[in-house]
Amino acid sequence: MIEISYNWLSEALIILLAGALLAGVILFIIDVTQTKNAIRRNYPLIGRFRSLFEHLGTFFRQYFFAMDREEMPFNRAFREWVYRASKNEDSTIPFGSTRDLTPTGSISFVNCPYPTLDVDAVPTRAMVIGVDCRTPFEAGSLFNISGMSYGAISKVAVQALSSGAAKAGCWMNTGEGGLSPYHLEGGCDIVMQIGTAKYGVRDSDGNLSDERLSELAAIEQVRMFEIKLSQGAKPGKGGILPAVKVTAEIAAIRGITAGEDSISPNRHVDIDSPGELLDMIAHIREVTGKPVGFKLVLGGCGALDHLFDEIKRRGDQSAPDFMTLDSADGGSGAAPQPLMDFMGMTLKESLPMLIDHLVGYGLRDRVRVICSGKLITPSGVAWALCMGADFIVSARGFMFALGCIQAMQCHKNTCPTGITTHQKRLQRGLDPQDKSVRVAHYVENMLHDVGVIAHSCGVKHPRQLQRRHARVVTSDSSSTGLHQLHPETEKGFPHGKAKE
């Protein structure tokens, strides 16, 4: 009996080795004869390991080689804070910070010798957006979910975010892919984004549909409409959803053909000037009765001057109810590398520029400012509040709360955590009920820790933070107050109206 088993194993091993040898010979011949890859042609069979190691290097660096503060776009220290916050775990750390406090651009906050006592702290009040609209929006949370389309992210991810947002009392932006049933089923407040292809609000010819706008406005959960002019990761480029992700359901929601690449125009074909932008804002506001604003990335202050000059010519009532400022720090599931790496201004430069222009033109009380772009931790959110933002939104922070491991597979439909894939096998790992609790914890702990920073600065709630409460390291290695780098004058600019 033992001898028979031994013989069977020996024969099986010989067959496997023969099969492996045959496969190796076939691959060797293929490599030698092909002309597309020089490495494989010159080093047949062995050269194939280069691509494998190159792919695995992404994961090896993350887990074995990179230090806590080294990785891009988000280092391990930032990701770990989000993971702990979303799991409602202790966020204290031992021994001292691993953050280098000296590089140019590093932010620190100005602690008060007499910080605010817990008993004196007050909750951050809700802020009204679109006070002159027929149906204004009273937004309770200063930290909310940025635009992520159903299609770019999975059904289960949308369900988890919707339910988690409702638990936390924050809003959720639909992204440019239109409003799906899964956005609504959690019961959260919704910001309906209108992208350049007008998915979800388009007629059969692809034009803006007043009928669809009215239908959406009739849904109580839909609180605001956001016109997307540009996105931080790809200003000047429309949304990109590969054909493999365009299922029949997603195609029906967007009003497009299933199984084909969903590529939005690089701008709204009916918006080519500040006047046309204001016309569309006024039209959507009239049809829906709800607050309307737009999302943009700044490349300079000239665009703001042209827009605000036109608003002052028409009257302040023509101004948008809000402006969402994205930046070169922003992310996307799919974008051309030249745009992601080199296009647009960072939030550190563009946010004070926007705030100062609004003040200078007398529009600061009229227009709410929402900002996004890599703000996933309390320090980033607190900095934005110091600079003058009213609200902060995040997409990738909430992806980490859902369990994202920064596998960099967003555009391939192979996300191992089920967040950006439509493969049922991979979606199975994301339980919407469990992850919705993590989403809520992330918001709650974010607001708590931003409050800790605010109280340490001596104010009673986060929106009282000002530029004088933060400092930045300059080129001579000393730090300077943000209020000195970006003076807050009566007109908003150091010398009146800013120029290019």
Smallest Cα–Cα separation from 188: which of 160, 174, 175, 169?
A: 169
Residue 121 has which token pair? 């702290």
50 and 184 housed in the same domain: no
Range of the domain at 61: 2-65
Question: Is it the case that residue 493 has pLDDT exceeding 50?
Answer: no
Q: Is residue 28 part of a domain?
A: yes
Average pLDDT over residues 36-65: 66
Residue 300 pLDDT more than 50?
A: yes
SS (H, E, C) 402-434: HCCCCCCCHHHCCCCCCCCCCCHHHHCCCCHHH
pLDDT of res. 43: 73
Residue 80 lies in a domain: no
Confidence of residue 48 (pLDDT cuts 50, 70, 90): confident
Note whether 21 and 170 are same-domain residues.
no
Residue 457 has pLDDT above 80, yes or no: yes
Distances in whole angstroms, Cα of residue 360 to Cα of each of 306, 365, 460: 13, 11, 27
| 334 domain-assigned | yes
Asked if 52 and 178 sit in the same domain, the reply is: no
- Same domain? For 185 and 318 the reply is yes
350-380 pLDDT, tens per residue?
A: 999 999 999 999 999 999 999 998 899 999 9
Residue 366 and residue 128: Cα distance in Å, rounded? 11
Q: How far is CA 310 from the centre of its chain?
A: 30
Q: Do residues 34 and 142 share a domain? A: no
* Confidence band for 34, pLDDT divided at 50, 70 and 90: confident
Q: Say how far apart CA 358 and CA 356 lie, in whole Å.
A: 5
Rounded percentage of the chain residues whose pLDDT exceeds 70: 86
Higher per-residue confidence, 409 vs 267: 267
Distance of CA 69 to the CA centre of its chain: 20
**At residue 368, what is the residue type?**
R
pLDDT at 357: 95
Is the residue at 89 inside a domain?
Answer: no
27 with 158, same domain? no
CATH number at residue 138: 3.20.20.70
181-185, 219-223, 232-236, range with the lowest pLDDT? 232-236
Residues 263 and 394 in one domain: yes
Distance CA 104, CA 285 (A): 43
Q: What is the pLDDT of residue 40?
A: 75
Q: For 275-290, how does the pLDDT look when each residue is reduced to its tens digit (9 = 90+)? A: 999 999 999 999 999 9
| Cα four-point dihedral sign 436, 185, 154, 345 | negative
Give the pLDDT of residue 495: 37
Position 310, amino acid: E
Residues 123 and 48 in one domain: no
Q: Please check whether residue 324 is in contact with residue 357, taking contact to mean a CB–CB distance below 8 angstroms.
A: no
Whether 497 has a pLDDT exceeding 50, the answer reads no
261 is written with which tokens?
């690449």
- Looking at the 3D structure of the chain, how many domains does it have? 2
Query: Do 311 and 168 share a structural domain?
Result: yes
pLDDT of residue 68 exceeding 70: no
Q: Which range, 77-86, 116-125, 428-437, 446-455, has the best average confidence (pLDDT)?
A: 446-455
Residue 135 falls inside a structural domain: yes
Whether 293 maps to a domain, the answer reads: yes
Interval 189-212 mean pLDDT? 92
480 domain-assigned: yes
User: Is residue 54 located within the same domain as residue 123?
Assistant: no
Q: What percent of the chain has pLDDT over 90?
A: 51
Domain boundary among 65, 86, 106: 65
What is the 3-state secondary structure of the chain? CHHHHHHHHHHHHHHHHHHHHHHHHHHHHHHHHCCCCHHHHHCCCCCHHHHHHHHHHHHHHHHHHCCCCCCCCCCHHHHHHHHHHHCCCCCCCCCCCCCCCCCCCCEEECCCCCCCCHHHCCCCCCEEECCCCCCCEEECCCEEECCCCECCECHHHHHHHHHHHHHHCCEEECCCCCCCHHHHHCCCEEEEEECCCCCCCECCCCCECHHHHHHHHCCCCEEEEEEECCCCCCCCCCCEECHHHCCHHHHHHHCCCCCCCEECCCCCCCCCCHHHHHHHHHHHHHHHCCCEEEEEECCCCHHHHHHHHHHHHHCHHHCCCEEEEECCCCCCCCCCHHHHHHCCCCHHHHHHHHHHHHHHCCCCCCCEEEECCCCCCHHHHHHHHHHCCCEEEECHHHHHHHCCCCCCCHHHCCCCCCCCCCCHHHHCCCCHHHHHHHHHHHHHHHHHHHHHHHHHCCCCCHHHCCHHHEEEECCCCCEEEHHHHCCCCCCCCCCCCCCC
- Tell which of 47, 65, 83 closes a domain: 65
pLDDT higher than threshold 60 for residue 161 = yes
Q: What is the pLDDT of residue 39?
A: 65
pLDDT tier at 233, thresholds 50, 70, 90: low
Q: Please tell me the least confidently modeled range out of 223-227, 260-264, 352-356, 470-474.
A: 260-264
Domain-located, residue 107: no
- Evaluate if residue 205 carries a pLDDT over 70: yes
Both 294 and 358 in one domain: the answer is: yes
**Rounded distance between C-alpha atoms, residue 165 and residue 223, angstroms:** 14
pLDDT of 266 > 90? The answer is no
Domain boundary among 27, 48, 65: 65
Contact yes or no for 180/207 (Cβ under 8 A): no
- Given its phi and psi angles, is residue 417 left (phi above 0), alpha (psi -120 to 50 degrees) or beta? alpha
Q: Which residue has the higher pLDDT, 18 or 452?
A: 452
How confident is the prediction for the chain on average, in pLDDT?
86
Are 343 and 291 a contacting pair, CB within 8 Å? Answer: no
Query: Are 303 and 432 contained in the same domain?
Result: yes
pLDDT at 419 over 60: yes
pLDDT tens string 100-129? 788 888 899 999 999 999 888 888 889 999
